[in-house]
Amino acid sequence: MAHFQLRPWSADDTDSLVRFGNNPKIAANMTDQFPNPYTTEKAKAFIEYATSNNPPNILAIDANGQAVGGIGIHPQADIHRMNAEMGYWLAEPYWGQGIISHAIKQMVAYTFENWDINRIFARPFGTNIGSQRALEKAGFVLEARFEKTILKNGEYLDELVYAVRRR
């Protein structure tokens, strides 16, 4: 496994975010908020957003001094306030190396240390086997499968809900 660390995003990450994020294979497994093509303007706007909270809830996955992915949690509101949704992506050259499952574990620990949250959930597409396996390796349990609830690129996909709870 390549050495990596989670760290806050910085304006210096703009070029690597565009270089690694501008990939239709990544966008295919993300919500439509993840841009494709990934432009410099979109990268600057994302980094401004990702650095606006303290502590930061969206971190860069750094390998060899460059941002090669991202992972974040989004605390929910109202009656769902004890929950947070997790999302993540990783640059294609780093796929299959176990990085994302380790990053998920680190983000879970970071979340439980910094937020009053009892449950973290993630919603991978039914077609994204790699993400499902990474969540399982990180201790997440499949809680639900909703058939054909996601419309992505003109195709209906299953939505899975995986979660881990504070011990």
Domains of the chain by start residue, with CATH = 5-165 (3.40.630.30)
Burial of 102 (0-12, 13-18, 19+ CB in 10 A): middle
Which is more confident, 161 or 1?
161
β-strands 119-122, 141-152 pairing: unpaired
Q: Between these two residues, 1 and 98, which has the higher pLDDT value? A: 98
Nearest Cα neighbor of 38 from 50, 25, 51, 49 is: 25
Whether residue 2 has pLDDT greater than 80 = no
Q: Is pLDDT of 7 > 70?
A: yes
| Tens digits of residue pLDDT in 22-81 | 999 999 999 999 999 999 999 999 999 999 999 999 999 999 999 999 999 999 999 999
pLDDT, tens only, 119-157: 999 999 999 999 999 999 999 999 999 999 999 999 999
Residue 137 has a pLDDT of: 97
Distance of alpha carbon 22 from alpha carbon 14, whole angstroms: 12
What is the per-residue pLDDT for 167? Answer: 86
Is the pLDDT at 1 greater than 80? The verdict is no
User: Does a cis peptide bond (omega within 30 degrees of 0) precede residue 93?
Assistant: no
